[in-house]
Each structure stands twice: as C-alpha cells, then as structure tokens.
Amino acid sequence: MENPNLTFRPIGFVSTGVEAKFSAGHQPDPDAAETNRVTLLPEPGFELALQDLAGFDRIWLVWWFHRNSTWRPRVMPPRGPAVRRGTFATRSPHRPNPIGLTCVRLLGIEGRVLTVGPLDLMDGTPILDIKPYLPKVDAFPDSGAGWVDEVERELAEAVPYLLEVSDLASQQLRWLHENFGIDFAERAFTLLRSDPTPHRTRRILLLKDGRLRMACGAWRLYYTLDERTVRILAVGKGYSDERLAAEYAADITHGDAQRAFAVRWPEP
C-alpha cells in the first residue's frame, strides 16, 4: 500500500439543535415527533445526486464523530453491567476511524436540504455520504446480536426504578426550560428508571456524602437511591464559577444559563 492515509471531506452538515452529547442519545428514538435537516454543501453535482432519492422511506447517513479524537480497544457500554467489551463489538463513538452510521426516515427534499426524522446526532455533525435504505438487503430481524441480546433480555425482565422529583428539582428544571429552552430531564429520567447505580459510561458517581450525581452534558442531577426508589434532589451546573468567569468561557455550552443558574441557586 503506497499511502495508508485516506482523505475525506464532508458533503454536508446536520442541523438538530442538540448541542450536548448527553442529549443526542445512543440511537434515534423512533417514536419521537421531531424533524431535522441535512444540508448539503453548494458543490457542483450534489443537488443532481439527490435525484430519485425522494421515493425512499429511509436512508443511511454516514457521518463523522467530529468531537472525538481518541479511541480505546475495549469500552464499557452504557447499557447493562459494567463490563468492558471489544470496541468492534459495540457502537462506541471512540473508534480508530470515528465513522458513524444512522438509518433515518426521509421526510422530504428541497434543493440541497433533506428533512429527516429522529436522529442521534449533534448539531453540526459532518455528513460523509448518503445511501438509500433497502429493506430486502439491509434488514435481518432474526439475526443474533451477541452480548446485546443478553442485555436486552435482562432489561426486559427488570422492574423499572420508581422516580420521585423534589419541589426544588422540579422548579430548577422548569426554570431552565422556560428561560433557556434547556430540557434534559426526559432522557435523564429514562436512564435513571432503567439503572441509577454508579457507572462510568453513564457518568453516574457516588459522592462522599452518600448522594449520587449524574452528568447530563453541561448539567448535573443529584439524587439518592433507596432500594428501588430514585429521589431527585436538585440540579447543579457542570462548570465551576471560576471557569465560567474565565476569559475563555465564551464557548462553554449553556454558559449564560450556567451563570444565571449560579446566581439563583448556589452549588448544592
């Protein structure tokens, strides 16, 4: 092989409004009532290349994990027990070549803009290629899924944890949504009902005072666990006051909201 290096360039970018990795999810939610856009670059031939695609219900998006720069040969998936798996047996975003593949509903095409259904991508994700989804060759519903099948069986048999939200936490979540359009509660609560125990990949940490803390992108949820009941105590910001006040803080996710939150509610 003369040159082992390959060069890729995006054909377009995704617009989802999702700024934090936590909010992007691990797979698209097929029941979500959301629309997103894929805008191709104004390159010669790109609009013509979309010809005949409108007749397909679903398409494959080939994309780049643009916020990941490292990889690991074994990773700990967020679902199931805290067991490391070989990276090639997972859908971890940390890969030798951080290429992603997502099947998505195609809702419409206008010029160089594709309107698509639910996605698991962050805003600005580079798109490398688009391919039509072919049910006869792309779907194998009876195929075994290795260790994932075992985890799915265990999750199906597990009883969901009960969730209680304090008045303070409810007030804080409502304030973030009403004033800044920030809403991570639904995804966080779904994860906590499934398994609220400490887990590195789920970013759940047991604190010295006995509380648990879950990282939700730029935000934190503080809670306690009493047998099968999760009690959400409070919301916290993910950045320190010192970092939010620093000169380089302009690019911090939800920086304005974090500063306003700190004034209204000191650290829990």
What does the pLDDT look like over 98-126, one tens digit per residue?
899 999 999 999 999 999 998 888 888 99
What does the pLDDT look like over 122-144, one tens digit per residue?
888 999 999 999 999 998 888 99
Residues 6+ apart with CB under 8 A from 202: 78, 191, 195, 214
Domain boundaries, the chain: 12-152, 162-264
In whole angstroms, give the CA distance from residue 169 to residue 189: 12
Amino acid 23: pLDDT:
52
Amino acid 158: pLDDT:
78
| Strand bridging mode 113-116 / 99-110 | antiparallel
3-class SS at 91? Answer: coil
DSSP code of residue 202: T
Amino acid 173: pLDDT:
96
The percent of residues in the chain predicted with pLDDT above 90, rounded, is: 49
What does the pLDDT look like over 8-47, one tens digit per residue?
899 999 988 776 555 555 566 666 678 999 999 999 999 9
In whole angstroms, give the CA distance from residue 196 to residue 213: 10
3-class SS at 165? Answer: strand
Amino acid 21: pLDDT:
56
User: In the structure encoding, which two tokens stand for residue 42, read together?
Assistant: 């104004």
Amino acid 121: pLDDT:
85
- How far apart, in Å, are the Cα atoms of 220 and each of 17, 106, 165, 217? 20, 35, 14, 8
Calculate mean pLDDT across residues 226-233.
Answer: 94
Q: Indicate the range of 135-149, 177-191, 225-239, 250-264 predicted with least confidence.
A: 250-264
Provide the mean pLDDT of the chain: 87
Right CATH number for 12-152 from 2.40.30.70, 2.40.50.100, 3.90.950.20, 2.60.40.10?
2.40.30.70
Name the CATH superfamily housing domain 162-264.
Answer: RelE-like (3.30.2310.20)
Calculate mean pLDDT across residues 223-227.
Answer: 93
- Look-up of token digits 């040159």: 3
